[in-house]
Chains A and B, each alone.
Chain A
């Protein structure tokens, strides 16, 4: 459904982008800049939780330290948050361990766990708008996107996983010989989860939902950029009946809080979403400590392939959405737009027009399509990549600079004449920078699309069923969207090939991340059959 909601938002943004081309661009750009700098809407929400959540209690960091969290529209501090380190992680892990080994959670019936998750979903639904406002305030994402797509998807995810709780099936297994064999699917234990800042709540749901449905306990480290909303929903989860110690949240930085979690000897499982570089570190720490199994959902440089028979207008709009959605801060962003040479010029012209019409400004303002980047580090990184694109002789079609003088706003940027070996065609930029490449035939584009160390997602635009069938098997990526993009649902698995990660989240596949399989074997005497 959120897939639908996203496309609804998309069509709304389409219809709101009227006016003549040049006028629209100039007016909105001026409007947007002003909005970004001068007329910010104050979110109607208070920040009530800034401490760690350990064993059902909000507590200060053991060190007493705090760190600032910001409003990316201005770069101003909105709260001081408890800063976790190894000691806080230790405390959280012992709470989770105790809750798993001796607490009621793994022992209660799956139906009871299901009811708690359902009650939680109802509570979040009730507080939809205020949670969305906080998400938008701390992250810079569009309020409307948070309130109308992401929060409903969050609720959907928890209802979905609630439904799995009482349907986790082992197998009875035919063995060679007189044996009765069955498999028990048991919760894996204490799960460590490290989530990113681009979709703070959705990443929470992707990780926490299946872990809880399977009966595990959790220590979650949120991104230092976006620590706030996880604490709010966790409070609601406890109101819904979650026993203390089942979900513990530690705020803090990767090297000081994430690393002790990844290398903890008493954590049975680790799930991480974030950059490929950090993913490597996490996997290494797991290997060096207790060999905990790891799922990784990492970076991408996903191809978006527009074949010559595609509906160009539709492809332009979806390619634009695929890249610019969420300020380009999506691991599966369609960041390499391959367009067939026969339609390349038309596609480029229309893509540029569309980017010029994109409304950048205060994410709380209606009609705004793009807010600020998350922080100064990302902001500067994006600008560096734009410079690299220009330096490597790609054609800058539009954008290319910052917007306003305050906050982290970047102009929607489009490059054409991009070559495969340019940095902007190889690296994950994680910003509003579209790179458009030209291709001649299917075999060529398959080869080029696969010539990347990533393999998270791909988009294919064609009307031809044979082309679609060939492409969907030939592309080495965890998701292939055909004539659509960024269609997400709780039931659709997501994850990467190659260096985009290990394992799948969402859908039935995600349950296996949080289950151990135990084979139980006993002899059969004189059975009627085998």
Chain B
């Protein structure tokens, strides 16, 4: 693999001045109660970008109070959907006006490719807001068929105060995947961004205020999971918590919800998603999909195609091409437009990935390419491919969350289904085939929340996304996501003398 500029020294754009480092509560940027701060790091160098106010339980309490007040007495849930939509549209316009600065914040904070953030992550966030703005005035209850002389209907009401806990791999997309539908539903919220990537979330809080979203509706409290995240998930006055992150943390959140006020929980967790390539596939296209599936965003993607199954007829040619392509993959400074892969988000992830690579070697898998770090500064790792995988190996079972692919040969459709489903996860799967019957059979047989046929990472605002099994429950995206933030109330009253029932 080429290493264009892996030492993080050259910069291709002006790193922005960091404007927002405090907690955003009730419409104001404030210090944390404790006065404590924490460092957020540039993963290109490991150096500190800024010190951020650290939210603790006390800060969460204050933020929840603000959100509670905004919900119980504020205008937001009482506005017609169309009025909420207007402010959301304005919010979207403001994001577009600040695209470059926001893209730079995510690039420097998460090591993401700057040009991709600018072209994709940030504009998509505006689109997501507009999508749900368009949904805000289309939340329909139903008039029901009662079994006797009753008139009954359902009201879909906002669930109340929502806690959002979001991860660091897509700081912008995750912010809006949660915030946009809950805004449309009429909820108020406390959002905890990941401690690795608080910068864009605080900027979005600022833009929300500029857009005119009332104080207390969106509160952003950066901090650490065990302290601030735990305070959210165990809070007695939060009505629902929506979490995206690891399966282990998801379990803790659900437990905290159970032990506190039985708040509704939705979890979008880890994955070990299979990409299954059949003999009739276009090999050139398939290798590209497989590579992108694992290397996109440095493999820090919950739906990464971390297990690639290839049918025996094309396996050898596929493997050869795949390795060739992996070797030309460019790792380096994410601000360089030629670079395809930046640094892992932090030291902890970096070391975890390297330890999985060591595991892979020890377990007897064949290291086809990669396996090493790149440069001597920052957290860069080579695109890594293991073959001769057995289903029970650690690198075939665990979510590595890095540029590490487990490649396996298979013979029959039945075997592919069995291997693909041999996981505790069920987030997504890819199928590459020209055969309609295989595509139909596979799409129903794989236990996963999304099936991509002859494509991968094909996300859309209108396409629901979420996991089977231990990949979580509840959907993000689409009109399904609105349901997470709504309560159903049935209203029933007798009718007399009705001409029909």
Contacts and interface: CB of A to CB of B under 8 A. Distances in A.
Given A164-B138, A166-B131, A523-B437, A528 B445 contact: yes
Interface string B240-254: 000000000000000
A522 B436 CA distance: 9
A529 B134 CA distance: 35
Contacts of B147: none
Interface string B79-108: 010110100010000000000000000000
Interface stretch (B12-20, B385-393, B490-498): B490-498
A167 B479 contact: yes
Given A160-B82, A508-B140, A111 B127 contact: yes
A338 to B, nearest CB: 18
Nearest to B437: A525
A1 interface: yes
Given A118-B89, A524-B441, A527-B441, A163 B138 contact: yes
Contact of B499 (A115, A473, A525): A473
A114 interface: yes
A527 B444 contact: yes
A490 B136 CA distance: 13
A163 B444 contact: no
B263 interface: no
B485 to A, nearest CB: 17
- Residue with the highest number of chain B CB atoms closer than 10 Å, among A115, A526, A529: A526
Contact of A156 (B82, B130, B133, B138): B82
A285 interface: no
Contact of A163 (B83, B135, B151, B495): B135
A154 to B, nearest CB: 14
A517 interface: no
Contact of B134 (A163, A466, A474, A525): A163
Contact of A473 (B436, B437, B500): B500
A166 to B, nearest CB: 6
B81 to A, nearest CB: 8
B440 A470 contact: no
A529 B80 CA distance: 42
B148 to A, nearest CB: 14
A30 interface: no
A121 to B, nearest CB: 10
B237 interface: no
Contacts of A526: 441
Contacts of A163: 85, 133-138
A366 to B, nearest CB: 27
A178 to B, nearest CB: 10
A473 B138 contact: no
A425 interface: no
A166 B134 contact: yes
B461 interface: yes
A523 B436 CA distance: 9
Contacts of B255: none
Contacts of B496: 466, 469-470
A469 B495 contact: yes
A357 interface: no
Contacts of B89: 118
7 contacts: A163-B133, A166-B461, A166-B462, A167-B138, A473-B151, A527-B440, A528-B444
Given A167-B131, A169-B462, A525-B441, 14 more contacts: A1-B82, A111-B130, A111-B461, A115-B130, A118-B89, A163-B136, A164-B138, A169-B479, A180-B440, A469-B494, A491-B137, A522-B436, A525-B437, A528-B444
Interface of B: 80, 82-83, 85, 89, 127, 130-131, 133-138, 140, 151, 417, 436-437, 440-441, 444-445, 461-462, 479, 493-500
Question: Which 7 pairs across A and B sit closest by C-beta, in order of nearness?
Answer: A163-B134, A528-B445, A527-B444, A469-B495, A473-B498, A525-B437, A474-B499
